[in-house]
Amino acid sequence: MTDDVLIAVEGGVGRLRLNRPKAIHALTRAMCATMTDALLAWQDDPTIRAVMIDHAEGRGFCAGGDIRLIAESAAGDNLAARDFFATEYRLNHLLFTYGKPVIAFMDGITMGGGVGIAQPARYRVATERTVYAMPETGIGLFPDVGGGWYLSRLPGRSGRYLAVTGARIDGADAIALDLATDYLPSDRLEEAKAVIIADPSDIGAALARFAAMPPDSHFANRLPDIDRLFASDRLEDIYAALRADGSDWAQAQLAALDTKSPQTMKVALRQLAQASRLTRFVDNMAMEYDLACRIIARPDIVEGVRALIVDKDNQPRWNPPTVEAVTDQLVDAIFAPLPDGERWTPLPQAAVDA
């Protein structure tokens, strides 16, 4: 148990409230384990009819995972990082297969690990304050926590775009992409939660009661450009298309790509291509665990966290340093499955047919 997650039962609703505001509720291994234990305890409890995930205070739902721990472990023996990923991914899978309705309130910053616990929920509530992203390529990681599954199933090439650029979208964009199911004004959230707690029998109706019409999605208006310029699964082709286009928007995307890890941008493109062909989420998570263990054995994650989080000089020295230097052989090696005894497995209490 950890005070970084507040566990409560109110009415027929089990509540998971992230409570690490100074870190924008970034997930630690202990937080993931605490949430998993609560979900397992509620799974067969007939008095618990739904689960609600939100945050107790602060300016965001969840900023991601414990990347400092991951980088420190990656600089050593990798064991703590592997343990973190294994625990987090089991939580992601448990939520995806959970038999009771889950409601996630994605109010404010919802990134990385926050996406991983919100996206499996049946009801995903966005607000005017939602800032949603999978920014992992900027620190030498890839869009994990189920990101390969979710992003590969977005309209057109939008998922590939979000994966390689780490672009941020808002609540209206999340609705347009079906990443969110409901759009509520942030000042009505507590009322909506109270109604759900009082009667969890019709969560959809309760959310609809407080819903607002989202503004136009700027991201949706960009989909034709995204589909055209990010059409290829070869990163070199995407660069070439952006350079040939020459528009201000294309130049801005080139500038964004130039800040990301060339290695993990290529990994992300292949990850989504492979995930799009999978039929079970459990297989996606096994693939992502293999990738995570391979990636943390390479230098980019340590360097990315140094540049963006520790020293904050925003000048990562990637290795390999360029897109062209990331060979197919290197990417093949990163996608090599782990030995059988090291591979990720779901919780035995979780369904594996999804």
For the annotated catalytic residues, the residue numbers are: 65, 113, 136, 144
Pairing of strands 182-183, 131-133: unpaired
Q: Are 62 and 26 in contact (CB under 8 A)?
A: yes
Give the Å distances, CA to CA, from 117 to 141, 295, 330.
Answer: 18, 22, 31
C-alpha 322 chain-centroid distance: 26
**Distance from C-alpha of 82 to C-alpha of 88, rounded to nearest angstrom:** 10
Query: Which residues neighbour 194 within 8 Å (Cβ) at sequence distance 6 or greater?
Result: none
Within 13 Å of residue 166, how many CA atoms lie on the same side as its CB?
24
How many helices (H) and strands (E) would you count in the chain?
A: 17, 10
Backbone phi and psi for residue 350, each to the nearest 5 degrees, phi listed first = -95, 145
Beta bridge partners of 102: 51
Q: Find the angle CA(345)-CA(121)-CA(175) to the nearest 5 degrees.
A: 130
For the chain, how far is it from start to end, CA to CA, in angstroms?
A: 28
Q: What is the DSSP letter of 167?
A: -
* The pair of three-digit structure tokens given for residue 68, joined into one six-digit string: 């400092």
Q: Are 47 and 101 in contact (CB under 8 A)?
A: no
